[in-house]
Every structure is written in C-alpha cells, then in structure tokens.
Amino acid sequence: MVIIFLALGSVAALGRGKDYTPFERGVGNFQKSVFIPKGTTGFGISASYTSMSLGEGSDNGFTLLYPVLGGLKGSLTTGSVTPSFEYFVADNVSVGARFSYGRTGLVFDKAALSVGELLSMNLGDIDYVTHSYTGAISVRDYLPVFNSKRFAVIVEGRLSGGYSQTKMSLVEDGLKHGTYQESFKGSLSCVPGVCLFILDNIDFEVQLGVLGVNFEKSLQTENQVSRSEAKSFNAALKINLLSVELGVKCYILDKYHRPRKKK
C-alpha cells in the first residue's frame, strides 16, 4: 500500500512538468516590514488597584454563601505595579526585564461560620496581608500583521522568579492564632499577545499566558511553634484567563531613526 501511494505521488509530481510551483504559506515573509527598528529602547508600566468593603450600615453584617458564612464586617484591598524595560537587539526583536510588586490586605472585624448544628463558630479580628515581589527577563518577537506599522502580534518567552511574605492572624473563642508564610516561585512561560500603537511612540498591549512550567515552595510557621513545608510543580498548555496583562509602553528611537527637523 505504501509503495502504491509513493508511486502515485511521483506520477502526480511528474505530471506538473515545468509549470510546477511549490506551495508557500508565507510564514517566512510574515516579518518583512520593520515594526520597531533595532536600537530602540522601550519603557512600560502597568498597575491595578481594587478596594471592597463589607458590612457597612448594618448591625448584622454582610452575608456570603448564606447561611454558611455571614455577619461579615471588613475590607479587602489589592494593588500591584509592574515597570518594564526592553531593548531591541534586532529589527522587531527585543530583550527585556520587568519587576512586579503586589500587595493584598484583608481585614475582618467580625465573621460567623455555620455548617448545620455540628459546626458553628464566631471569628473576629481576622487580619491577612501578603507582599509579593517578582522579577523576570524576556525575549520578544513582534510580528506585524499585513506589514502594518501600527498593529502586531507579540510572541514572548519569559523566565521569572518571585518571593512573597504572608501574615495572617485571627481570634477564635478569645484566643489569637497567627501564621507566617514565605513562598519562593519560579516559572518559564510563553506569553503571546497583541500591541497597537495609539501614537507614534506609545502603544497599548494585551498579553495572555498559554504555556508555562511553574515551581513553588512554601515555608509556613504557625503560632511561632509549628513549622511545615509545601512544594508544587506543574506544566500546562492552556489559556489562563487569570494571567491577562494590560499595559502601556513608550518607545525611544535611536538617533538613526528619530524624525529630523526640516531646515
């Protein structure tokens, strides 16, 4: 059977004669135009902030998962900032670095947990705060769409590492419990995206993680006595909607590509 298919393929190829033209998908010609020239320097920043309060204006407090969790009075705040830098070592190809800081704070003055008659407790003075620091180096390739100079697809490989500190305390039946945790993270990921130049030197970017290899190690101390450790490792090829990144970048051209004033 294999011999028959090979013979038919050979006959079909001979039948084309001198008019035969090999099919090309055009992938190799996708990056003919210069989207961002060599020697350009880029600076960017992205930031986020969220604030939420529960139980205001009510003596009974707010209720979630009724009737399991209720009587909530507290607040939640999250924030992060990520400055970044990149330098173009070739046309449309850059190497870069970024640093990210994030903080999450959760304070509950009052909370009640009830699961039937067997489990019921009142919690108060819950205080949770975490600080995270992440650094990364990356390589980017910009692929202009239809040779456009305004819109391009980004293909980025990123190697990152991070450290975080978490402190949590709560009061249960008049007794205070506290937990301190340190976490170390590392990842190798592919983060594709798109960018659109809204001005000559300023663009808007959207990126989404789809492929990653991640490692995390956590060291936990409870009530300054009990110590424990946890490790995790995973590799996944999937769209992670929680990893969506939005940002704005400013690009500074080198002296050979800057617009010159007319004399």
The domains of the chain are located at: 32-252
pLDDT at 17 over 80: no
Question: Within 10 A of 203 (CB to CB), how many other CB atoms are there?
Answer: 23
Weakest-pLDDT range from 81-95, 107-121, 219-233: 107-121
Q: Can you give the chain as a three-state secondary structure string?
A: CHHHHHHHHHHHHHHHHHHCCCCCCCCCCCCCCCCCCCCCEEEEEEEEEEEEEECCCCCCCEEECCCCEEEEEEEEEEEEEEEEEEEEEECCEEEEEEEEEEEEEEEEEEEEEEECCCEEEEEEEEEEEEEEEEEEEEEEEEEEHHHCCCEEEEEEEEEEEEEEEEEEEEEECCEEEEEEEEEEEEEEEECCEEEEECCCCEEEEEECCCEEEEEEEEEEEECCCEEEEEEEEEEEECCCHHHCEEEEEEEECCCCCCCCCCC
**109 vs 193, residue with greater confidence:** 193
pLDDT at 223: 83
Average pLDDT, stretch 196-206?
92
What is the predicted pLDDT for the residue at 2? 46
Residues 188-211, mean pLDDT to the nearest whole number: 90
Tell me: pLDDT of 18 over 80. no
Question: Is the per-residue pLDDT at 113 higher than 70?
Answer: no
More confident residue, 208 or 61: 208
Query: 124-177: per-residue pLDDT in tens?
Result: 678 889 999 999 999 999 999 888 889 999 999 999 999 999 999 877 767 778
Give the confidence band of 196 by pLDDT, cuts at 50, 70, 90: very high
Q: Which CATH number fits the domain 32-252, given the four candidates 2.40.160, 2.60.40, 1.10.8, 2.60.220?
A: 2.40.160
Q: Out of 61-65, 108-112, 234-238, 249-253, give the one with best mean pLDDT.
A: 249-253
Mean of the per-residue pLDDT values for the chain?
Answer: 82
Across residues 80-92, what is the average pLDDT?
93
